[in-house]
């Protein structure tokens, strides 16, 4: 809110107090009311500077400022840098300066209406309350969250502020819970506008414009705003202890911030820490890196995120002794037959994993109901096709530590050959069907070619 840069000759006066008597004598309200504001804002930390501005739409001779519920008045000089505004500065604001202010101006013998009320709040007077979120600060779009502010101070109000918001702070009266006074602010169903940083304050009942220091900040983040990315592992999600692993978060173009979370199946993420790169390097990996991961994508300087990616299990191998892997009836099997891969351990385990070298699919998992040494499970492949051919390994683990696996078994190479049976297998039938189709097409083409050659000869005979 600016004004012209001219200088008034009359000395501008600022009256601190109730000036209703002067207003009555001069004819209050014959001129438009001025606007009033505080710079840098109406909430000021104790002992910080603040300036109150009063601006008129007309040229004024004198400006007046008064404070609500303060008796008496006295003239004070003010800095009037133009014909339509004046200012009064507090070099170091104190508790006594808090309260509600109004201003007015005089032009000749006419007086203006009073401005709107300006509430000047002084913060940092009392100790900060504690501030927490339930259930979490990362909330899916459409969900709900409770922001709880508590303090031992009796009889007063709690105030909730969001960083960067110009709206009037929300406030609640105190309630007594668990030997502390507490207010719970319900936020939701959340949308993109709810994302951001929140703080709470407390003010005593007898001093409503004297607030405490701000609480710890809570950064509320909203997920599910954009389409989910995909998460993959390089070189793979099955990784030997001590090796390096890179998790790649891939999304649609336009995103410049990516976040990785772990073990959301056990608890919702408390926060999302973003980085500009979609590649998350882990390593050398240890047992603590085992778990279930998801990733999110978003934009810089924003509190909104995509939906989470599909979960990716990172399995750390090399934790225990290796099991043995064998094939029944053997590692060489005909196309269409059945084969059983048996994983056996001489140590007590209740979970077994079978992986195929080069496969992007997660390992197959079987669980034992009865744990009797030796432990063994059977993975059945039926019917076998050429896709089953390859090198297999198996691992053992405990169900209470599902992401920590044993050393891999020795490799087992499964070979798939054509059937020795006189009957055609499905694969042979497919091949014969394709061959027959090719012969039929060639026959039709030859027939059409021969027919077209006979037509000119028949026409010549006639």
Which homologous superfamily does the CATH classification assign to the domain defined by 127-222? Immunoglobulins (2.60.40.10)
What's the pLDDT at 440?
81
Which homologous superfamily does the CATH classification assign to the domain defined by 227-316? Immunoglobulins (2.60.40.10)
- Of the candidates 360, 376, 365, which has an alpha carbon nearest to the alpha carbon of residue 325? 376
What's the pLDDT at 16?
47
Distances (CA, A) of 351 to 289, 296, 380, 397: 19, 31, 16, 5
pLDDT under 50: residue ranges of the chain: 1-27, 71-77, 420-424, 459-460, 462
pTM, to two decimals: 0.72
Q: Could you report the per-residue pLDDT of 42-91, keeping only the tens digit for each?
A: 999 999 999 999 999 888 888 888 888 654 444 444 555 566 888 888 99
Pick the CATH number of 13-123 from 2.40.128.20, 2.60.40.10, 3.40.50.10260, 3.40.50.880: 2.60.40.10
Structural domain boundaries in the chain: 13-123, 127-222, 227-316, 324-417
What's the pLDDT at 73?
42
What's the pLDDT at 166?
60
Which homologous superfamily does the CATH classification assign to the domain defined by 324-417? Immunoglobulins (2.60.40.10)
What's the pLDDT at 5?
29
């Amino acid at each position: 809110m600016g004004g012209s840069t001219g200088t008034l000759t009359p000395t501008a006066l600022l009256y601190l107090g109730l000036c209703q008597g002067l207003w009555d004598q001069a004819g209050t309200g014959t001129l438009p009311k001025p606007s009033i504001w505080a710079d840098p804002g109406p909430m000021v930390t104790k002992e910080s500077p603040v300036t109150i501005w009063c601006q008129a739409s007309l040229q004024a001779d004198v400006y007046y400022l008064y404070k609500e519920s303060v008796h008496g008045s006295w003239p004070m000089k003010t800095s009037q840098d133009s014909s339509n505004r004046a200012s009064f500065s507090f070099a170091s604001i104190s508790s006594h300066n808090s309260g509600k202010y109004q201003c007015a101006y005089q032009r000749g013998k006419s007086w203006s209406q009073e401005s709107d009320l300006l509430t000047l709040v002084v913060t940092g007077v009392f100790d900060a309350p504690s501030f927490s979120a339930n259930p979490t600060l990362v909330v899916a779009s459409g969900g709900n969250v409770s922001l709880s502010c508590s303090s031992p101070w009796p009889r007063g109000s709690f105030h909730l502020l969001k960083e960067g918001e110009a709206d009037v702070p929300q406030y609640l009266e105190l309630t007594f819970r668990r030997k502390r006074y507490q207010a719970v602010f319900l936020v939701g169903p959340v949308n993109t506008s709810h994302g951001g940083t929140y703080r709470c304050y407390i003010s005593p009942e007898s001093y409503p414009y004297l607030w405490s220091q701000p609480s710890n900040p809570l950064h509320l983040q909203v997920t599910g705003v954009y389409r989910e990315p995909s998460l993959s592992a390089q070189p793979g999600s099955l990784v030997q202890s001590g090796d390096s692993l890179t998790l790649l978060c891939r999304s649609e173009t336009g995103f410049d911030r990516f976040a990785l979370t772990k073990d959301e199946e056990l608890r919702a993420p408390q926060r999302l820490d973003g980085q500009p790169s979609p590649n998350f390097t882990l390593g050398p990996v240890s047992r603590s890196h085992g778990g279930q991961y998801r990733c999110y994508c978003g934009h810089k300087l924003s509190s909104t995120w995509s939906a989470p990616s599909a979960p990716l299990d990172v399995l750390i191998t090399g934790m225990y002794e290796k099991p043995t892997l064998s094939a029944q009836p053997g590692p060489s099997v005909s196309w269409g037959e059945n084969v059983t891969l048996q994983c056996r351990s001489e140590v007590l385990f209740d979970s077994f994993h079978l992986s195929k070298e080069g496969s992007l699919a997660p390992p197959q998992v079987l669980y034992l109901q009865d744990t009797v040494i030796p432990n063994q499970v059977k993975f059945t492949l039926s019917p076998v096709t050429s896709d089953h051919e390859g090198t297999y390994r198996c691992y053992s683990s405990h169900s209470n530590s599902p992401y920590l696996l044993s050393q891999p078994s020795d490799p087992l190479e499964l070979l798939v050959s054509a059937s020795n049976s006189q009957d055609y297998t499905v694969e042979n039938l497919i091949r014969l069907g394709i061959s027959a189709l090719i012969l039929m097409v060639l026959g039709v083409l030859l027939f059409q070619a021969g027919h077209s050659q006979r037509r000119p000869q028949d026409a010549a005979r006639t």
